[in-house]
Structure 1
């Protein structure tokens, strides 16, 4: 039986208990090594705490331990008999919104924590907005610290209703609300005896059973070429293969394909996977594709079915999250990295910045005009002109081939993460 993998991220406001929830998840699922647990127990005793501080399992930076907050994205890997997990514990502070974008950009599920005493706050809404922008397919609302409100069902229901209404309005499709106490372990791995009014899954049960991935037949196939393989050996004198990871969809031997941006066409002659020929391959498998014609293909090209090939564009309109400390300005020259292709580009316009606004007591998202720049943690709209055409999909159609990075050509610093409107 094949065990699949779920990538998920945690988010929420400061002190809502993200790191404690993650620590409890690792601790109760027996995913903590003995030496890790001993180190946490020693650190907890040094602070005068009898029980281990489970937040220390993820808050690894010295500044995080000193301040009691998460600053960087902490990645953890663990597994149960039913599934493997890649977890990104992201910061809650508004000044680290860019870190939340980094952690959630590849996630298929986001766990948004809310302190039951405080309810839905501005940062909760901001993280829900980021999850919506990044098209995270599944969102779990973990109403934490239920022990501090007497495990009241009415408190949970009110928070779940408010968050669900807001997130649904943003476009978040699948929302599951779970009442938990990370500190006490209620509904994290084991069902809570203190909330018999709740009949849904625990956090781990939901993580183990939520649908993962997409049906390959529902998406057009895309394979960015990462490497051209030409062994030139006596056994394979004419071998020419194009290696890469399939970004979406499925490829089939005999299928007509187009190589972009050149526009040359051919047919898939063979597909090799793990050194063996296969008739079909699908995302996210890494394969080598051989074409029937000896056309020019190199790293950075994109192979796609001819009938479903993306349009080429040099004018990219997109939503970006600015992640660098230096601002992004109109007229700035950058490098745009899309899958395995990197091209020169210039920022033509920055028409607006995404903002949380308060209208009639309700926080919502609006686009506010900005004076031609984005600063750290800003999310805004930009237009970029590239020196060479790109085969971009709309981010709404493909998170892999609809995303890109803007890079400073002087020192290689990542400036912004982008989500394209489409070609």
Structure 2
């Protein structure tokens, strides 16, 4: 654990003068297309705190977008990565391999759902993992079509932009996109026309009908879905939806891919979110929380599917970098030793309890339309009071008010109206509650 004091401290405005200076340098040197949620420049981070260059300490409800689940300077990650740095930084696994890569693949085989024989391939980013999952599925099935879902997010490369639902800011102006990608409905309970109780059955029936009639099940290589949709608004598909889609895929020789890049590695209170309804995916993509902040991703799946690609067909110069693999082994060690699944479930209990109390204090729930998510992947969907009309302005205003008081929160959602909370799983409960106090006060600014 970091030696940074685990307490919020504001000594300047947010951002402070040093951050403002650095922001001017950034504007001159960094491409404008690379955005930032909050222009405070990090000096140190650990536990549930980010300390900026001005000496402010902010409560972290973002975890670098679900990456630093074990904290941003976890002892085991630092220890193992430092030792590996001293030995060698790179050899390229495709040139001369090393044990760390193999060990990460062994851990993935143990941790991912299912007791079948599994293999993995390691890459750098979530988008790379998803893109390689498509390659593997196409090689295995000899088919080309890929099915994805409304509100899904899968990355920023050309193929994964095609897989991603949301246009702005991810796709606008960057086309044309890869072909043979088809989008079908998802069971978004809060917004399902006939009610959340019908969403699972009705959405799965609609999706299967569209696949059958518009694409042909025999042409589909893979269906790809986030078991909890991240950028789309932390949408939990209504119960029954995922099992129905997985069953349809199995019956039609379609590779079922669970994109667990944001939801995996204890984030939802289970090692992987698809475990909630007993889903055993054919392939599972992971990244973000896998390596304590170091760039690493993976595709893990049934050995016969993973082996479908020819030798040399998968890889990349930096994929499974030895330092990142050491970080992953340290992160997994931390998750096991601290039982971060239990920590995530406790975070859910505290956050949902407090958020429910906040909604109860607002007339008719006020702008809080929905509270959802699992583990330490919790969100509130903001609407215009008395309606379900998305209120992106309220989300932006609340985030701004929280930032000014030293609480880092993120927004998301197809309509830009969702506040998402992704605290490190190691955050202290006092900091968690203090952050929620700040959020509650922020509602008074609307």
Instruction: Pick the TM interval, shorter chain.
Output: under 0.3
TM-score, length of structure 2 as denominator length:
0.25
Larger Rg: 1
**Which of the pair has the greater relative contact order for Cα pairs under 8 Å at 6+ separation?**
2
Whose strand proportion is higher, 1 or 2? 1
Whose helix proportion is higher, 1 or 2? 2
